[in-house]
């Protein structure tokens, strides 16, 4: 369906077909509202050397005059981690965020020396008007405080995005505003956008209160030094661990920059309440009796440079494992990380540590995302006419759409889309529209300009096939070879064991050069000829395609 002037457009620059990179847009006439600006962590070998993946913001840049603000649902990196990249790409005047997310964003922007952005804090009573769109909010329970869903009242109908959520009847923080959601649903929701992360998990997500009891049991039963690794972003879990340390008279030593940052911001915001003397520096804390020490650290996913990995490897500056240490993984493995985590667990066990992970015997972790039972409840509360599952890989989106059918939403009213696909809301009806640009941008280190897809392809190609360099010395003035070409292999074949292949490659390079030099070529033609002939020859011999790099050296004039 072609977009008309008065249509309301809904599209995602990230967050569809993936977990992370959440960036959703609501556009009506001359107004674009961006919901969240997250990153996706690379996490596997398919993106060598890449730290983050962010959306391509080209469409927003091309329509910068329409962008009226960025609305943040909560403070997790997959929702706020891309803000600095966004600001470097286009002009953004104001960010609307709840208290904790606002504090985390200020800290993040200060580190990047970005100080010219206005941040407006909101709560569940806030209402903002952007031309013809009215925006309001409702509280959600998640693994971090100050998580919100957002309601958009547009001239064409009501759009609701749930943000990340779960229904926890005994939460550590605020409970979801179930009655308010029911009222929103009663007033009429045309399109619901809802978190799909746990859409394949049946039943209801375990309460955070159950985790609190298990953590207290571990503190109660541990007689030696205690080391707990968890996600720094799981603020409620960090809060529970610190409260247990206070209750059982253990001093807290914090390792990991992200953990230090989140504790600092959460204490300043009043979310984590703890005495200053509870936290001690490593040089003091590690001299205390073992049963008075808690080490709280990052690295629950086996990240190579995280604190727990360095502790397990024996390379940490301050701490080494002592027999009878208890190490707790208060997290579940993210898909793809299981091997790394098992590697760390084995090293810890060999060093004499008692390792506790989530199992049927304990409840030391629970998700912050809704399972199928809670997703059904959300759908029943909102009673949307149309459903748009977001924040999930394709199979998760598909499972969420199936759940929606079970509660009465017709299959034709659910939309499983890809990043860039556009939905059009027109007089309370939803149609498929055209696409907007939505490529991935790869971020290496602090480079916020992004890396092209070709660079990633080259890195993967090098990792899988290696390279072959052909060094050729020529007399360009007389179009003659000065010496026999030299061949160097790196990551392709071991040269000492493949002397015949290397010699044949040199002979082919020499023949190619003699033939091409008769045509009075330029350097570009010489390089392309060498790439084509050598590349084809090596594939026939090895069935591999190394990167061919010709190096042409011209004899200087006397």
Q: Which domains does the chain have, with CATH numbers?
A: 8-203+367-443 (3.60.15.10), 208-356 (3.40.50.10710), 466-554 (3.10.20.580)
pLDDT for 10 equals: 98
Task: Find the distance separating the first CA and the last CA of the chain, reported in whole Å.
Answer: 70
For the ranges 161-175, 370-384, 485-499, the lowest mean pLDDT is seen at 485-499
* CA pair distance 116, 87, nearest whole angstrom: 10
Q: Do the strands 467-475 and 486-490 form a parallel or antiparallel pair, or are they unpaired?
A: antiparallel
Instruction: Find out whether 9 and 424 touch, Cβ atoms under 8 Å.
Output: yes
For residues 371-390, give the mean pLDDT. Answer: 98
CB 191, CB 159: distance < 8 Å: yes
In contact, 552 and 482? CB cutoff 8 Å: no
Q: What is the DSSP letter of 341?
A: H
Q: Give the percent of the chain with pLDDT over 90.
A: 66
Query: Is 431 exposed, middle or buried, given 0-12, 13-18 or 19+ CB atoms closer than 10 A?
Result: middle
Mean pLDDT of 266-276: 90
CB 265, CB 107: distance < 8 Å: yes
C-beta atoms surrounding 535 within 10 Å: 15
| Of 517, 509, 497, 496, residue with least CA distance to 538 | 509
pLDDT of amino acid 545: 86
Q: What does the DSSP 8-state code read for residue 124? A: T
Beta-sheet strands, E only, within 196-336: 226-229, 251-255, 293-297, 326-329
Average pLDDT, the chain: 90
Q: What is the pLDDT of residue 218?
A: 93
Average pLDDT over residues 157-171: 96
380 CB-near residues (< 8 Å, 6+ apart): 407
pLDDT of residue 396: 96
Phi-psi map region of 277: left, alpha, beta (phi>0 left; psi -120 to 50 alpha): alpha
* Residue 202, number of CB atoms within 10 A of its CB: 8
pLDDT for 302: 76
Q: Answer whether 321's CB lies under 8 Å from 309's CB.
A: no
Poorest-pLDDT segment among 231-245, 284-298, 446-460: 446-460
Q: Give the list of residues 6+ apart from residue 556 with CB closer than 8 angstroms, or none.
A: none
What was the pLDDT predicted at 452? 57
Residue whose structure tokens are 């059009």: 424
Beta bridge partners of 294: 226, 252
CB–CB of 420/435 below 8 Å?
Answer: yes
Structure token digits, residue 186: 């009663």
The two three-digit tokens of residue 20, written as one number? 């992370």
DSSP 213-226: HHHHHHHHH--S-E
CB 423 within 8 A of CB 385: no
How does pLDDT run across 468-512, given as a tens digit for each residue? 999 999 888 888 888 899 999 988 888 888 889 999 999 999 999
User: At 14, which helix (H) or strand (E)?
Assistant: strand 8-14
Q: In what order do the strands lie in the sheet with 8-14?
A: 118-121, 94-97, 67-71, 31-35, 23-28, 8-14, 421-426, 429-435
Instruction: Kindly state the tokens that stand for 510.
Output: 């020499």
pLDDT tens for each residue of 97-147: 999 999 999 999 998 888 889 999 999 999 999 999 999 999 999 999 999
Radius of gyration of the chain (CA): 28
To 10 degrees, what angle do helices 394-406 and 372-382 make?
A: 60
Q: How would residue 450 be classed by pLDDT, with cut points 50, 70 and 90?
A: low
Q: What is the DSSP string of 393-435?
A: -HHHHHHHHHHHHHTT--GGGB----TTEEEEEETTEEEEEEE
pTM for the structure as a whole: 0.83
Token look-up 């990340």 returns 164
Token pair belonging to 296: 């709280």
User: Contact, 473 vs 482, CB < 8 A?
Assistant: yes
How far apart are alpha carbons 309 and 342 in whole angstroms? Answer: 11
Helix (H/G/I), strand (E/B), else coil: 54: strand
- Using the Cα atoms of residue 27, residue 28, residue 29 and residue 35 in order, give the sign of their dihedral: negative
Structure tokens at 200: 């394949």
Q: Which of left, alpha, beta for 408 (phi over 0: left; psi -120 to 50: alpha)?
A: left
Residue 453 has pLDDT above 70, yes or no: no
* Number of other residues whose CB lies within 10 A of the CB of residue 182: 14
Q: For residue 44, what pLDDT is reported?
A: 57
Residue 27 · residue 8 · CB < 8 Å = yes
Q: What angle do CA 537, 540, 543 make, to 5 degrees?
A: 120
Which DSSP state fits 138? E
Cβ-Cβ contacts under 8 Å for 9 (sequence gap 6 or more): 3, 25, 26, 27, 28, 422, 423, 424, 425, 433
- Asked if 387 and 194 touch (Cβ cutoff 8 Å), the reply is yes
Which phi-psi region, left, alpha or beta, contains residue 68 (left: φ > 0; alpha: ψ -120 to 50)? alpha
Contact 264, 306 (CB under 8 A): no
Tell me how far apart the alpha carbons of residues 188 and 194 are, in angstroms, rounded to a whole number: 16
What does the pLDDT average to over 208-215? 90
Sort 519 into a burial class: Cβ within 10 Å, 0-12 / 13-18 / 19+.
exposed
């Amino acid at each position: 369906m072609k977009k008309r002037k008065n249509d309301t457009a809904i599209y995602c620059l990230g967050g569809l077909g993936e977990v992370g990179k959440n960036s959703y847009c609501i556009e009506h006439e001359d107004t674009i509202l961006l919901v969240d600006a997250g990153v996706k962590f690379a996490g596997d070998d398919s993106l060598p050397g890449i730290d983050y993946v962010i959306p391509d913001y080209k469409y927003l840049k091309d329509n910068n005059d329409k962008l009226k603000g960025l609305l943040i649902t909560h403070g997790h990196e997959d929702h706020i981690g891309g803000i600095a990249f966004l600001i470097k790409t286009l002009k953004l005047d104001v960010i609307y965020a709840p208290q904790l997310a606002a504090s985390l964003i200020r800290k993040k922007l200060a580190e990047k020396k970005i100080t010219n952005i206005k941040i407006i804090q909101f709560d569940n009573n806030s209402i903002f008007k952007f031309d013809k769109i009215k925006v309001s909010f409702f509280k959600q329970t998640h693994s971090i405080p100050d998580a919100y869903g957002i309601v958009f009242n547009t001239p064409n109908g009501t759009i609701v995005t749930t943000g990340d959520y779960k229904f926890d009847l005994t939460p550590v923080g605020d409970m979801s505003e179930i009655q308010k959601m029911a009222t929103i649903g009663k007033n009429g929701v045309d399109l619901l956008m809802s978190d799909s992360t746990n859409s394949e998990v049946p039943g209801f997500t375990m309460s955070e209160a159950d985790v609190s009891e298990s953590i207290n049991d571990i503190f109660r039963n541990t007689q030696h030094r205690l080391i707990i690794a968890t996600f720094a972003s799981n603020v409620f879990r960090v809060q529970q661990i610190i409260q247990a340390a206070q209750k059982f008279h253990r001093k807290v030593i914090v390792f990991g920059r992200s953990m230090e940052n989140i504790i600092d911001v959460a204490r300043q915001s009043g979310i984590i309440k703890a005495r200053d003397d509870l936290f001690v520096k490593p040089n003091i804390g590690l001299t205390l009796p073992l049963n008075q020490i808690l080490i709280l650290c990052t690295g629950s996913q086996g990240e190579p440079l995280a604190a727990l990995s360095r502790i397990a490897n024996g390379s940490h500056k301050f701490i080494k494992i002592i027999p009878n240490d208890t190490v707790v993984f208060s997290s579940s493995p993210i898909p793809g990380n299981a091997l790394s985590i098992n590697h760390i667990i084995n090293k810890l066990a060999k060093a004499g540590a008692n390792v506790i992970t989530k199992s049927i015997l304990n409840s030391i972790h629970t998700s912050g995302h809704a399972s199928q039972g809670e997703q059904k409840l959300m759908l029943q509360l909102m009673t949307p006419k149309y459903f748009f599952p977001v924040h999930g890989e394709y199979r998760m989106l598909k499972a969420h759409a199936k759940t929606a059918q079970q509660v009465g939403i017709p299959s034709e009213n659910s939309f499983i889309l890809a990043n860039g696909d556009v939905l059009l809301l027109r007089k309370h009806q939803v149609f498929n529209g055209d696409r907007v640009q939505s490529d991935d941008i790869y971020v290496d280190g602090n480079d916020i300009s992004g890396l092209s897809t070709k660079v990633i392809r080259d890195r993967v190609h090098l990792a899988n096939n290696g390279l072959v360099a052909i060094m050729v010395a020529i007399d360009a003035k007389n179009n003659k070879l000065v010496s026999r070409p030299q061949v160097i292999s790196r990551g392709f074949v071991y040269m000492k064991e493949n002397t015949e292949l290397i010699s044949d490659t040199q002979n082919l390079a020499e023949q190619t050069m003699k033939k091409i030099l008769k045509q009075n070529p330029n350097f570009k033609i010489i390089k392309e000829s060498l790439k084509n002939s050598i590349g084809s020859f090596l594939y026939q011999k090895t069935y591999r395609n190394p990167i061919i790099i010709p190096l042409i050296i011209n004899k200087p004039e006397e």
